[in-house]
Structures are given as C-alpha cells and as structure tokens.
Amino acid sequence: MPSEKVMEKKKQEVEMLTQMLKDSCAGVLVDYKGIPVSEDTALRAQLRAADVQYHVVKNTLLNLAVKNAGLDELANVLSGTTAIATSKQDYVAAARILSGYAATHKNFSLKSGFIDGRVINEGTLAALAKLPSREVLLATVCNAFNAPIAAFARAVQAIADKQGETAA
C-alpha cells in the first residue's frame, strides 16, 4: 500500500492533468517509445515555441484525469507509452507539429486527441494537422476581405485619372 505522501502526490498530479485538459482547446495523445533524448529535446523546444504543453504521463493517472475532464473515450487508447500535448489557444499546433514528427519517426505515432471537449480520431487528427496555422488563416481571410476594397479603390482611381485626362 502506497504511503500517504505518495498518494497525495498522485492526487495532485491527477488534478493538474484534469485542469490542463479542461483548460485546453485541443490536445493530442502520442506513443513516443524509442526516440532519442536529443530528438525529444528538439521536439519539446518546437512545441514550447508554439505554446504547446507536452507531458509524458502514466496511463493510470491520465485515465483518471480524462474521466474527470469528461473525455472518457480517450481511455481506450491509454496503453503503452503515452505523452500528451495540449494547447490553450491554437487548435492545430500540437497536431501539426506531432504529425510532422511522426511522419519521420517510425517509433512515434499519434493515438488520439480532442478539440473543445470532444474526442477525435486519427483521421481527424491527420486532417487537422494539414491546416495552416492560425496566423496564416487570419491573413488569408484578411486578404479575401481586402481584395474587393482594393479593386474598388483601383476602379475609382482609374475613373479619376480618366476624367483628369479628358479635362486637360
């Protein structure tokens, strides 16, 4: 039987994981076995730069946390080695980075994920990973809104230039 101190530490870790899941807009669970420390360090740096939290966790503790967070369907993939990447603001960052990493490393694979409290499968994760970043999407939308305005401004300028030519 574990000591009170050990049990308290595990309870705190479950609470931390539960809160992390609840506070995140998106997350990805991966099987990370067999990756070298240097590559793991580089991956973590890339995730940190995108403001993604990445934790290697014990399946039993994560199982309790996913149930507490209302993500019960994630319990089905909690076997083997498990790490979780979550983001509070960017829906695609974790999926994009981890999917790219999995494509080049045979020992690294995506298990499942969630978006806004709903569990998603590997197919949805793959589609999510192909989306551009939030900044690129916003720039595309801004360009789409700006194009008609710019065209209108050019047409008005052309009319003004033409009228200026006929008056002279």
Question: 58-67: per-residue pLDDT in tens?
Answer: 999 999 999 9
- Which pLDDT band, with edges at 50, 70 and 90, does 91 fall under? confident
The mean per-residue pLDDT over the stretch 67-86 comes to 90
Q: Is the pLDDT score of 49 beyond 90?
A: yes
Helix (H, G, I), strand (E, B) or coil at 115: strand
In the sheet where 109-115 sits, what is the strand order? 52-57, 82-87, 26-31, 109-115, 118-120
d(CA 139, CA 30): 31
Size of the chain, expressed as the number of residues it contains: 168
The mean per-residue pLDDT over the stretch 21-43 comes to 89
Helix (H, G, I), strand (E, B) or coil at 9: helix
Lowest mean pLDDT among 22-31, 82-91, 122-131: 122-131
The mean per-residue pLDDT over the stretch 155-160 comes to 78
pLDDT of the residue at 155: 77
The mean per-residue pLDDT over the stretch 101-109 comes to 87
Helix (H, G, I), strand (E, B) or coil at 103: helix
User: Residue 10 has which token pair?
Assistant: 């595990």
| In the chain, % of residues over pLDDT 90 | 39
Write the class of the CATH domain 4-131. alpha beta
Query: Could you give the count of Cα atoms lying within 13 Å of 106 in the half-sphere of its Cβ?
Result: 0
d(CA 40, CA 47): 10
Q: Dihedral of the CA atoms 28, 48, 96, 124 (nearest 10)?
A: 20
pTM for the structure as a whole: 0.74
d(CA 80, CA 78): 7
Share the mean pLDDT of the chain: 86
